[in-house]
Amino acid sequence: MKSKISLSLYFFLLGFLAVFQNTSSQNNDWTFFRGSNLNGIAETGKIPLKWDSLNIKWKTEIHGRGLSSPVVYGNQIWLTTATTDGKELYAVAIDFNSGKILYDIKVFTPEKVEGKNALNSYATPTPCIEKDFVYVHYGNYGTACIRTSDGSIVWKVNDYKCRYVQGAAASPILYKNLIILHFEGTDVRFIVALNKSDGKLVWRKDRPAEPYIPLTEIGKKAYITPIIINVKGRDMLISDGSAVCQAIDPNTGEEIWRVVRGAESTIAMPFTEKGVVYWYAGFMVDSKSPKFTEMLAVNPDGKGDITGTNVLWKKRDDLSDNQMLTPVIKNGLIYTVTTKNNLMCINAVNGEEVWTTHLRSAFNASPIYLNGNVWLFSVKGEVMTIKAGKKYEVIAENQMDSGIWATPAFLRNSVILRTEKLLYRIGK
């Protein structure tokens, strides 16, 4: 009996420490798109609701154009940018305390530049960062590992290609010794895991061919960033393509399960709470609507094709097409802004709308949850803070110098926010 109690206590402490370490990391550093836990939930404390000149600790001009979000580790903030013609691709490091540019590194100079959507940039994927290294990704143009102590490039690869048509947007994530990248175009669709120490291929997983057969060529592309979840002790990479969402073993690339649903150009990340995974399918058409999209809730404990068995609910939106931002979920409520500028609170248990309101502007940066509030950022530079809960209530509004496309980082009582030309640190 004593040994059983000790073993149970041991595993409890391991789980507690893992949760504590993740929380500590997200509070002190912001290492991926939507935070170190990939969930858009900030755990820092004293962020002012209304901003004035005293709250702006510094602002730094970033040359070129990029839509990547800032990531932070230690005293360094990293993001990417590019010349407007895409012929020079940069990684930029900024000092957290002073706003001074530490490194401005030209990483790639493509010989041939492909077309893109006018809303996109040539530096849209968000870097990922850890102690000593930052990893920057520009889709077909390449991926690089940079040593953060001196700005030297450790390795570069540009072996993996697809026909994006509208430019790259999927951000990389780190898992153990791997960096995981998505390449999903109109021609080919695959995921690769590279050894993060040297950039060499560890595994490659192609999307299954069958679900894509009914899709038009233009609809086969996707731009999503995956998440990692754990189901009964097994890690799963949740990766949502335009026709199929797959759970993949991140160690090997083996498919665990799939849900077939969607028709074009998925962008929003999956998200999760309380053992359920949610995602937006790419937009679809049928006799009822020329374009619509769906949010799905799925029980991830399954194997094989679980489309007919594990989908808990689907919420159809006939007014919107492809979802741009990733919703944030907290305490059983999902907060999202559709492509028709409708801000919604959705019940995560059944998919029913709790409330909805129409906004003046488009909100393409993903919302952030902090201390009972949800923060939203518009392409016109509006920062809106609403109270989380079953009643719509605006707490504060602020206006920045220009549009916000990149999701900010919230950490150390500060917001690191990128507008079209400037990077800000805002705090008390």
Cα–Cα distance measured from residue 262 to residue 280, given in angstroms and rounded to the nearest whole number = 9
Tokens 């077939």 correspond to: 260
What pLDDT was estimated at residue 284? 78
Separation between Cα atoms, residue 428 and residue 420, nearest integer Å: 23
Question: Given CA atoms 17, 27, 192, 246 in this order, what sign does their dihedral have?
Answer: positive
Residue identified by tokens 């999903």 is 184
pLDDT < 50 positions in the chain: 1-24
Q: What total of structural domains would you count in the chain?
A: 1
* E strand residue ranges, 143-298: 143-147, 153-157, 173-175, 178-184, 189-195, 201-206, 227-231, 234-240, 244-248, 255-260, 271-273, 276-280, 293-298
- In angstroms, rounded to a whole number, what is the distance separating the alpha carbons of residues 111 and 139? 14
* Dist. CA 424–CA 53, nearest whole Å: 12
Query: CA–CA separation, 270 vs 327, rounded Å?
Result: 9
Close Cβ partners of 365 (under 8 Å, ≥ 6 residues apart): 69, 325, 376, 377, 378, 404, 405, 406, 407, 408
Kindly report the CATH number assigned to the domain that includes residue 45.
Answer: 2.130.10.10
Q: For residue 4, what pLDDT is reported?
A: 40
The residue whose two tokens read 């493509």 is: 110
Domain that residue 372 falls in: 2-427
Please tell me the distance from the alpha carbon of residue 280 to that of residue 127, in angstroms, as a whole number. 23
Max Cα distance, the chain (Å): 69
Token pair 């916000």 is found at 404
Return phi, psi of residue 341, to 5°.
70, 30
Q: Which helix (H) or strand (E) holds 42?
A: none
- Phi-psi category of 339—alpha, beta or left, where left has phi over 0 and alpha has psi -120 to 50? alpha
Other CB atoms within a 10 A radius of the CB of residue 247 amount to 28
Least Cα distance to 64 among 91, 94, 100, 97 occurs for 91
pTM equals 0.92
For the stretch 147-162, pLDDT in tens is 999 999 999 999 999 9
Is 263 in contact with 283 (CB distance < 8 Å)?
yes
pLDDT in tens, 39-95: 999 987 789 999 999 999 999 999 999 999 999 999 999 999 999 999 999 999 999
CA–CA–CA angle 84, 85, 88 (5° rounding): 90
